Structure 1
Protein backbone atom coordinates (compact mmCIF):
# COMPACT_ATOMS: atom_id res chain seq x y z
CA UNK A 1 0.00 0.00 0.00
CA UNK A 2 1.32 3.43 -0.99
CA UNK A 3 -0.01 6.53 0.75
CA UNK A 4 -0.36 9.99 -0.80
CA UNK A 5 -1.45 13.30 0.74
CA UNK A 6 -3.80 15.41 -1.38
CA UNK A 7 -5.91 18.49 -0.80
CA UNK A 8 -9.54 17.40 -1.23
CA UNK A 9 -10.08 19.98 -3.98
CA UNK A 10 -7.17 18.49 -5.97
CA UNK A 11 -8.48 14.92 -5.65
CA UNK A 12 -12.00 15.71 -6.84
CA UNK A 13 -12.58 15.15 -10.54
CA UNK A 14 -15.66 15.61 -12.68
CA UNK A 15 -15.06 12.25 -14.36
CA UNK A 16 -13.97 9.23 -12.27
CA UNK A 17 -12.29 7.76 -15.37
CA UNK A 18 -9.83 10.67 -15.53
CA UNK A 19 -6.51 9.64 -13.92
CA UNK A 20 -5.30 11.62 -10.91
CA UNK A 21 -2.50 14.04 -11.80
CA UNK A 22 -1.27 16.08 -8.83
CA UNK A 23 0.85 19.17 -9.49
CA UNK A 24 4.07 17.32 -8.62
CA UNK A 25 3.62 15.08 -11.65
CA UNK A 26 4.04 18.10 -13.95
CA UNK A 27 6.71 19.89 -11.90
CA UNK A 28 8.82 16.95 -10.67
CA UNK A 29 7.81 14.10 -12.94
CA UNK A 30 6.34 11.86 -10.24
CA UNK A 31 3.69 11.56 -7.53
CA UNK A 32 5.10 11.69 -3.99
CA UNK A 33 4.01 8.82 -1.74
CA UNK A 34 4.78 7.54 1.73
CA UNK A 35 5.48 3.96 2.78
CA UNK A 36 3.32 4.02 5.92
CA UNK A 37 0.71 5.99 7.83
CA UNK A 38 3.06 7.43 10.47
CA UNK A 39 5.39 8.83 7.80
CA UNK A 40 2.49 10.29 5.80
CA UNK A 41 1.04 12.02 8.86
CA UNK A 42 4.46 13.40 9.85
CA UNK A 43 4.86 14.81 6.32
CA UNK A 44 1.37 16.33 6.45
CA UNK A 45 2.19 17.92 9.81
CA UNK A 46 5.52 19.31 8.59
CA UNK A 47 4.61 20.47 5.09
CA UNK A 48 0.84 20.93 4.78
CA UNK A 49 -0.13 23.09 7.77
CA UNK A 50 -0.90 26.13 5.63
CA UNK A 51 -2.82 24.25 2.92
CA UNK A 52 -6.44 25.37 3.12
CA UNK A 53 -9.40 23.03 3.19
CA UNK A 54 -9.58 19.32 3.93
CA UNK A 55 -6.54 17.11 3.39
CA UNK A 56 -6.93 13.52 2.28
CA UNK A 57 -4.79 10.44 2.67
CA UNK A 58 -5.16 8.39 -0.52
CA UNK A 59 -4.26 4.71 -0.42
CA UNK A 60 -2.90 3.23 -3.65
CA UNK A 61 -2.68 -0.48 -4.35
CA UNK A 62 0.69 -0.67 -6.08
CA UNK A 63 -0.39 -3.78 -8.03
CA UNK A 64 -3.23 -1.82 -9.66
CA UNK A 65 -1.09 1.08 -10.86
CA UNK A 66 -0.15 1.17 -14.54
CA UNK A 67 2.57 3.79 -13.94
CA UNK A 68 6.02 2.76 -12.76
CA UNK A 69 6.78 2.93 -9.03
CA UNK A 70 10.36 3.61 -7.92
CA UNK A 71 11.57 3.54 -4.33
CA UNK A 72 14.05 6.41 -4.06
CA UNK A 73 16.13 7.80 -1.25
CA UNK A 74 15.57 11.01 0.66
CA UNK A 75 18.05 11.30 3.47
CA UNK A 76 18.40 7.84 5.00
CA UNK A 77 14.89 6.66 3.97
CA UNK A 78 13.30 5.28 0.84
CA UNK A 79 10.05 6.74 -0.48
CA UNK A 80 7.80 5.42 -3.25
CA UNK A 81 7.38 7.69 -6.26
CA UNK A 82 4.78 7.01 -8.97
CA UNK A 83 6.12 8.02 -12.38
CA UNK A 84 2.86 8.75 -14.15
CA UNK A 85 -0.77 9.51 -13.48
CA UNK A 86 -2.58 7.42 -10.89
CA UNK A 87 -5.40 5.24 -12.16
CA UNK A 88 -8.39 5.97 -9.93
CA UNK A 89 -9.11 2.23 -9.82
CA UNK A 90 -5.81 1.86 -7.92
CA UNK A 91 -7.12 4.07 -5.11
CA UNK A 92 -8.48 1.56 -2.63
CA UNK A 93 -9.09 3.90 0.29
CA UNK A 94 -9.50 7.57 1.19
CA UNK A 95 -9.37 9.04 4.68
CA UNK A 96 -9.44 12.62 5.90
CA UNK A 97 -6.40 13.97 7.73
CA UNK A 98 -7.84 15.85 10.69
CA UNK A 99 -6.10 19.08 11.72
CA UNK A 100 -6.52 21.61 14.49
CA UNK A 101 -6.98 25.37 13.96
CA UNK A 102 -3.20 25.81 13.57
CA UNK A 103 -3.04 23.12 10.87
CA UNK A 104 -1.38 20.50 13.08
CA UNK A 105 -2.36 16.90 12.35
CA UNK A 106 -4.60 15.38 15.02
CA UNK A 107 -5.48 12.06 13.38
CA UNK A 108 -7.46 10.36 10.65
CA UNK A 109 -11.17 10.06 10.01
CA UNK A 110 -13.37 8.45 7.37
CA UNK A 111 -13.83 10.58 4.24
CA UNK A 112 -17.45 11.00 3.31
Structure 2
Protein backbone atom coordinates (compact mmCIF):
# COMPACT_ATOMS: atom_id res chain seq x y z
CA UNK A 1 0.00 0.00 0.00
CA UNK A 2 1.39 3.42 -0.93
CA UNK A 3 1.78 5.93 1.91
CA UNK A 4 -0.80 8.73 1.73
CA UNK A 5 1.64 11.62 2.09
CA UNK A 6 2.65 14.78 0.30
CA UNK A 7 6.10 15.29 -1.20
CA UNK A 8 7.01 17.69 1.65
CA UNK A 9 6.97 14.73 4.05
CA UNK A 10 9.68 12.90 2.20
CA UNK A 11 13.23 12.68 3.53
CA UNK A 12 14.44 11.64 0.06
CA UNK A 13 12.58 10.95 -3.18
CA UNK A 14 10.21 8.08 -2.44
CA UNK A 15 11.08 8.24 1.27
CA UNK A 16 8.56 9.32 3.92
CA UNK A 17 9.48 10.40 7.42
CA UNK A 18 7.73 8.29 10.03
CA UNK A 19 7.23 9.39 13.63
CA UNK A 20 7.02 7.37 16.83
CA UNK A 21 6.15 8.68 20.29
CA UNK A 22 8.09 7.19 23.19
CA UNK A 23 8.51 8.00 26.87
CA UNK A 24 11.94 9.65 27.30
CA UNK A 25 13.08 7.16 29.95
CA UNK A 26 12.11 4.19 27.77
CA UNK A 27 14.12 5.55 24.84
CA UNK A 28 17.10 6.24 27.12
CA UNK A 29 17.07 2.60 28.33
CA UNK A 30 17.21 1.21 24.79
CA UNK A 31 20.64 0.08 23.68
CA UNK A 32 21.24 -0.80 20.00
CA UNK A 33 17.59 -1.62 19.35
CA UNK A 34 14.34 -0.24 20.64
CA UNK A 35 11.66 -2.87 21.28
CA UNK A 36 8.52 -1.35 22.81
CA UNK A 37 5.88 -3.44 24.53
CA UNK A 38 3.62 -3.20 21.46
CA UNK A 39 6.11 -5.29 19.48
CA UNK A 40 5.50 -8.21 21.87
CA UNK A 41 1.77 -7.65 22.42
CA UNK A 42 0.65 -6.56 18.93
CA UNK A 43 3.54 -7.67 16.76
CA UNK A 44 4.50 -4.20 15.53
CA UNK A 45 5.64 -0.71 16.50
CA UNK A 46 3.08 2.07 15.97
CA UNK A 47 4.21 4.98 13.80
CA UNK A 48 2.46 8.05 12.42
CA UNK A 49 3.07 10.34 9.49
CA UNK A 50 3.66 14.08 9.82
CA UNK A 51 -0.02 14.67 9.09
CA UNK A 52 -1.14 12.20 11.75
CA UNK A 53 1.21 12.92 14.66
CA UNK A 54 -0.75 15.68 16.45
CA UNK A 55 -3.92 13.57 16.45
CA UNK A 56 -1.93 10.54 17.67
CA UNK A 57 -0.42 12.55 20.51
CA UNK A 58 -3.82 13.88 21.57
CA UNK A 59 -5.59 10.53 21.27
CA UNK A 60 -3.09 8.55 23.33
CA UNK A 61 -0.88 11.01 25.25
CA UNK A 62 -2.96 14.12 26.05
CA UNK A 63 -1.55 15.93 29.08
CA UNK A 64 1.52 13.68 29.35
CA UNK A 65 4.97 15.09 29.89
CA UNK A 66 8.31 13.37 29.33
CA UNK A 67 7.60 12.34 25.75
CA UNK A 68 10.07 12.11 22.91
CA UNK A 69 9.35 12.04 19.20
CA UNK A 70 11.51 9.87 16.95
CA UNK A 71 11.79 10.53 13.21
CA UNK A 72 12.74 7.62 10.96
CA UNK A 73 12.97 7.55 7.15
CA UNK A 74 10.65 4.89 5.79
CA UNK A 75 13.51 3.51 3.69
CA UNK A 76 15.36 2.58 6.89
CA UNK A 77 12.55 0.24 7.98
CA UNK A 78 11.03 -0.73 4.63
CA UNK A 79 11.79 -4.43 5.17
CA UNK A 80 9.42 -4.43 8.17
CA UNK A 81 7.03 -1.62 7.13
CA UNK A 82 3.33 -2.14 6.42
CA UNK A 83 0.72 0.55 5.82
CA UNK A 84 -2.47 -0.59 7.54
CA UNK A 85 -5.91 0.82 8.15
CA UNK A 86 -6.62 1.58 11.81
CA UNK A 87 -9.68 -0.02 13.34
CA UNK A 88 -10.72 3.02 15.41
CA UNK A 89 -10.12 5.85 12.90
CA UNK A 90 -10.54 5.99 9.15
CA UNK A 91 -6.88 6.32 8.25
CA UNK A 92 -3.87 4.27 7.17
CA UNK A 93 -0.91 4.15 9.55
CA UNK A 94 2.66 2.89 9.21
CA UNK A 95 3.42 -0.16 11.35
CA UNK A 96 6.92 -1.59 11.72
CA UNK A 97 6.97 -5.37 12.26
CA UNK A 98 10.37 -5.63 13.88
CA UNK A 99 12.66 -3.90 16.34
CA UNK A 100 13.82 -0.36 15.60
CA UNK A 101 17.57 0.03 15.28
CA UNK A 102 18.63 3.20 17.09
CA UNK A 103 21.09 4.10 14.34
CA UNK A 104 18.29 4.63 11.78
CA UNK A 105 16.57 7.32 13.88
CA UNK A 106 17.42 10.66 12.26
CA UNK A 107 15.89 12.97 14.87
CA UNK A 108 15.01 12.66 18.55
CA UNK A 109 13.13 15.64 20.00
CA UNK A 110 11.03 16.22 23.12
CA UNK A 111 7.37 17.11 22.60
CA UNK A 112 5.24 18.96 25.12
CA UNK A 113 1.52 19.64 25.36
CA UNK A 114 0.20 23.15 25.95
CA UNK A 115 -0.82 24.14 29.49
CA UNK A 116 -4.26 22.62 28.91
CA UNK A 117 -2.74 19.24 28.00
CA UNK A 118 -3.40 19.50 24.25
CA UNK A 119 -0.74 19.03 21.57
CA UNK A 120 -1.31 21.69 18.93
CA UNK A 121 0.08 22.35 15.49
CA UNK A 122 2.62 23.38 14.55
CA UNK A 123 4.59 20.74 16.34
CA UNK A 124 8.34 20.42 16.29
CA UNK A 125 7.92 18.01 13.34
CA UNK A 126 7.41 21.03 11.11
CA UNK A 127 11.14 21.77 11.54
CA UNK A 128 12.21 18.19 10.72
CA UNK A 129 13.03 17.09 7.22
Shared fold by TM > 0.5? yes
1:16-95 to 2 correspondence within 5 Å? 18-36=32-50, 38-49=51-62, 51=64, 53-65=65-77, 67-74=79-86, 75-95=89-109
Gaps of 5+ in 2: 1-16
In 2, Cα distance between the equivalents of 1:66 and 1:89? 15
Gaps of 5+ in 1: none
Maintained 8 Å contact 2:33/2:101: yes
User: TM-score normalized by structure 1?
Assistant: 0.80
Q: CA RMSD in A?
A: 2.2
Q: 2:34 aligns to what SS in structure 1?
A: coil
How many positions carry a matched residue from both structures?
Answer: 106
1:60-79: per-residue Cα shift (whole Å, max 9, x none)? 12222375100001143110
